[in-house]
Structure 1
Amino acid sequence: MSKVFTQTQIGNLTLKNRFVRSATWENMATEEGHMTDKLYGIYKELAEGGVGLIVTGYANIVPEEKPNAGMMGMYDDSFIEEYQALTDLVHQRDSKIVMQLAYGGTKTTYNLGERVIFAPSNVPEKGTNTQGKAMTLDEIDYIVQAFAKATLRAKQSGFDGVEIHGAHTYLINQFLSPYYNQRTDQYGGSLENRMRFLIEIIEQSRKLVGESFPILVKLTATEFFEGGLTFYETRVICKKMEQIGVDGLIISGNIHGKAIDMVGQSFDGHTLQQEGFFHQYGAVISQDVNIPVITVGGLTDIAAIEQIAESTNIQCFALSRPLLSEPDLVNRWQSGDRSESLCETCSKCRTKRGNFCIVNKERKRIIAQMG
């Protein structure tokens, strides 16, 4: 049997295969972040499609901060019962599910002027040009505790773990980045200080959920611009994450929709690949640490995924767009149909109404009409 269809472990969590649905904003929750029938339907379809682990779309941890419309919430106990229904639904279909928790920060253009947006320093986000409020020490502690409380709610809801979003220029990533973090206190300057915010989030979460509840961290391999977080620094961060008890690492980039155009370019000594954009970075980190490393981005070909699985220590493979296009893709591959994903990597799925495939939806409609 192909390695990618064998069981694997992330902490004490057993997965039936090596495929992960990476966190994807669906824009299907209510205004307050609560579940809807459409959202339950999305996760039911994913669980039935054969993926070993589902990572939810990002959930906001405080009610006043929401970087996108229609995103899930985890900022108070009112969510627990409906998420228990969600986790039961997934578990009944032999899949596992973790919740992604995030503070978006200045990587947003949503409802600007109507809310205070925290940032480590007075440095606008490069893509959105959104300016945030440099955080006080009390505000840092407030967000640390909010992450920890949300992690506890995830455990109480029956999730199999959490993924702390420390990538993609969201708040944690900005604290890690020497470009965005211009602080002169204990949270800025040296890499040790820039890591402090993330370390405190993990440590405070552990105090509430114990040592056995899986905590994963998503990180940007490198920021792909001069003066940003480097891959060398990310390797140091990953080793520290293992040291403080993180159960798995998701190594991503920060170039949404642009990675396909940057294939073949090298940054910090490694090259973006056609299949698995960032897997060279993940492969190095998988040699540095003894916890599972998950690669995400640009995975559409089962043969290429199997080759990466055989030639590196990367343990799991996370897909988003291919599963938007074909929620049952993993089942199809496992059944013996090894043709590439129908995903065209066109990024048209990234709409203002959420992330969903418009190409294959139209294709299926035409085929149905012809039938």
Structure 2
Amino acid sequence: MLFVTVDEQPNPGMMGIYNDSFIEEYKEFTDKIHKFDTNIILQIVYGGSQTNFNVGERIILGPSAVAHRIYGVTPKEATKEDIRGLIESFADDSLRAKKSGFDGVQFHAAHGYIYSQFLSPYYNKRTDEYGENIENRARIIFETLAAVRRKVGRDFPVLIKINYSDFIEDGFSFEDCKYVCKRLEELGIDAIEISGVVGDKTEDRTVREKGLKYLENESYFRKYAAEIAEELNVPVILVGGNRSLNLMDEIVNNTKIQYFSLSRPLLREPGLINRWGGGDNSKAKCVSCGKCGDVQGNSCIFNRTSRK
């Protein structure tokens, strides 16, 4: 995940793609990936008020001046000029991704970041064309997709990551999500990744807090992703707790979900997909402890060597 504007790094150690100086280095990186006959899609994001990094040293935009429920950061309400600038940043950075050899781009509209907040009535109190009803709250996303398409063309894959719900009162709802996904399909999105993480105490963790010791607790957003997939023709990607190949096979065979996202399991086992491909279908070794995040770089605690 890369940040899109020079003055908006939401997390320490996070990489950016906000000017052309990144292209050569990222091209070297994607060339190495392509040697393994695989594709790589770049995820880009504007974090907004969901941050505690250098908060007093930069302007942080939001749909409205509503304090973040966890971090307590109150952003500056984005002007229409700010919104246009943000949209153009996403578009310019998508073109940079294409020039850098990435095989597509995904813009992040989930997990409480700024586009997620525009979708949420809790954070979005605007009364202009970017607020109030769901069509307006999603307008920035629809306009971003159009701007990205103008830059990269129709043949470069453009994806989105979106919550199916925010799990908070006056938040983004499942019905809102289905509406936005249908509109994105009409507007030419290539694939939609369904998530549900917002970094909030009221988040629905009824399954996630139990851990993933039992098969029924895995792939915990599948019910909602499957319902959305039934109403779309574009591919739907399921993220969250995907740990067992047999369960994912079952989901593929019994729903319209076509793809799966994994992150933490690959930190524990970088060769997991090759292991499954070689016939060892046993469950991923990841125990979903959530301790892989580190300011020095994400890594599995079971694989870390001592650091000075």
Task: Bin the TM-score by the shorter chain.
Answer: over 0.9
User: What is the CA-CA distance between 1:95 and the residue it aligns to?
Assistant: 1.0
Residue in 2 aligned with 1:233? 176
Percent identity between matched residues is 44
Whether 1:174 and 2:86 are equivalent positions in the alignment is no
User: What is the CA-CA distance between 1:350 and the residue it aligns to?
Assistant: 2.0
Q: 2:231 aligns with which of 279, 288, 295?
A: 288
Inter-partner Cα distance in structure 2 for 1:179 and 1:221: 15
User: What is the CA-CA distance between 1:260 and the residue it aligns to?
Assistant: 9.4
- Amino acid across the alignment from 1:84: K
- Amino acid across the alignment from 1:293: V
Inter-partner Cα distance in structure 2 for 1:99 and 1:352: 21
Check the 8 A contact 1:99/1:161 in 2, yes or no: yes
Check the 8 A contact 1:260/1:274 in 2, yes or no: no
Check the 8 A contact 2:164/2:194 in 1, yes or no: yes
Inter-partner Cα distance in structure 1 for 2:110 and 2:67: 16
Q: 1:331 aligns with which of 269, 274, 278?
A: 274
Inter-partner Cα distance in structure 1 for 2:46 and 2:284: 32
User: What is the CA-CA distance between 1:351 and the residue it aligns to?
Assistant: 2.7
Counterpart mapping for 1:342-357 below 5 A: 342-357=285-300
Residue in 1 aligned with 2:206? 262
Counterpart mapping for 1:1-371 below 5 A: 58-255=1-198, 261-263=205-207, 274-361=217-304
Higher strand proportion, which one? 1
Unaligned runs of 5+ in 2: 210-215
Check the 8 A contact 1:125/1:169 in 2, yes or no: no
TM score, norm. by length of structure 1: 0.78
Inter-partner Cα distance in structure 2 for 1:256 and 1:356: 20
Inter-partner Cα distance in structure 1 for 2:297 and 2:8: 18
Check the 8 A contact 1:221/1:230 in 2, yes or no: yes
SS at match of 2:40: strand
Inter-partner Cα distance in structure 1 for 2:296 and 2:290: 14
SS at match of 2:162: strand
User: What is the CA-CA distance between 1:360 and the residue it aligns to?
Assistant: 3.8
Inter-partner Cα distance in structure 2 for 1:192 and 1:257: 25
Check the 8 A contact 1:309/1:315 in 2, yes or no: yes
User: What is the CA-CA distance between 1:309 and the residue it aligns to?
Assistant: 1.2
Distance 1:153 1:198, change over 3 A: same
Deviates more, 1:302-311 or 1:209-218: 302-311
Distance 1:74 1:88, change over 3 A: same
Check the 8 A contact 1:106/1:117 in 2, yes or no: yes
Inter-partner Cα distance in structure 2 for 1:174 and 1:249: 18
Deviates more, 1:82-91 or 1:350-359: 350-359
Check the 8 A contact 2:208/2:220 in 1, yes or no: no
- Amino acid across the alignment from 2:67: P
TM score, norm. by length of structure 2: 0.93
- Amino acid across the alignment from 1:332: R
SS at match of 2:106: strand
Distance 1:158 1:90, change over 3 A: same
Cα RMSD (Å): 1.8
Higher relative contact order by CA 8 Å / sep ≥ 6: 1 or 2?
A: 1
Check the 8 A contact 1:88/1:158 in 2, yes or no: yes
Inter-partner Cα distance in structure 1 for 2:99 and 2:105: 12
Deviations 1:99-146 (A, max 9, x none): 101000011010110000000001112121211000111111010110
Deviations 1:3-55 (A, max 9, x none): xxxxxxxxxxxxxxxxxxxxxxxxxxxxxxxxxxxxxxxxxxxxxxxxxxxxx
Inter-partner Cα distance in structure 1 for 2:4 and 2:245: 36
Distance 1:182 1:200, change over 3 A: same
Query: What is the aligned length?
Result: 299
Inter-partner Cα distance in structure 2 for 1:117 and 1:303: 44
Unaligned runs of 5+ in 1: 1-57, 266-272, 366-371
Inter-partner Cα distance in structure 2 for 1:339 and 1:219: 30
SS at match of 1:100: strand
- Amino acid across the alignment from 1:316: Y
- Amino acid across the alignment from 1:199: F
User: What is the CA-CA distance between 1:234 and the residue it aligns to?
Assistant: 0.1
Inter-partner Cα distance in structure 1 for 2:149 and 2:184: 13
Residue in 2 aligned with 1:21? none
Inter-partner Cα distance in structure 2 for 1:192 and 1:347: 35
